[in-house]
Amino acid sequence: MRHLLIPVVLSCASFMALPARAHPHIFVDVGLELVFDEAGQAEGVWISWTYDPFFSMLLVSDMGLDADFTGTISDEEREALHGFDMNWTVEEYHGDTHVTQNGQPLALSGPVEWESDYRDGQLHSRHLRHLIDRPDPAREWVVVVYDPTYYTAYGLIGMPRITGRTDCTARVFEPDWEAAGAQLEAALDEVLGAGGDIEADFPMVGALFSEEVRVLCAAP
């Protein structure tokens, strides 16, 4: 997410007085819907993002929308907003959604459908990504949403939905927050000790703070 939105963040930098060690900068609530096809195979994932009110205000203002600060937009403005976070042109950015099985990554497509909105003072978006590599339906697979740079913090809201099958479960496992915080502090101290710049050399710790969704279906 950092690569995707960094131009807007930089243009709004005068509004943000963040301490040197402050990460993350953006907070996003995440909803997941796991989609299975008619054959019972995992087909894709709908990913919903709801941005924090402060960042939503900055981004909407930067786009010249909601000039009266009402927390809502007109239908015409909504059309201009459509797909505002779907322009994945930076090579290093892969959507911050990670699917694995047995520790091995399963490839996802880019967004194939998407929706955008701004209501109650927050930006909302939703997009569908197909599973290029289908997981073995008889074994557990994992979905995790995180920004490796921890510039953006993602947090799951509610239980993931499952569409297309009734014999699958999706369990959410939280990280060890205390251990993750300790590892982050140690990594930051190492950066500072080596004379590095905290913002430019921030460690890749996003995975430490991520919630895992473990999916398991009944044996065929």
In one-letter notation, the amino acid at residue 190 is: E
What is the structure's pLDDT at 200? Answer: 81
What is the structure's pLDDT at 22? Answer: 62
Find where tokens 């007085």 sit: 17
**How confident is the chain (220 residues) per 10-residue block, as mean pLDDT?**
49 40 86 96 98 94 88 89 88 89 96 95 97 94 96 96 97 96 92 84 92 92
Structure tokens, 151: 């510039």
pTM of the model: 0.87
The DSSP 8-state label assigned to residue 160 in this structure reads: P
What is the structure's pLDDT at 102? Answer: 96
Q: Which residues, at least 6 apart from 38, have a Cβ–Cβ distance to it below 8 Å?
A: 164
CA distances from 134 to 110, 131, 174 (A): 15, 6, 25
Number of H helices, E strands in the chain: 4, 11
Q: Is 75 exposed, middle or buried (0-12, 13-18, 19+ CB in 10 A)?
A: exposed
Structure tokens, 207: 């995975």
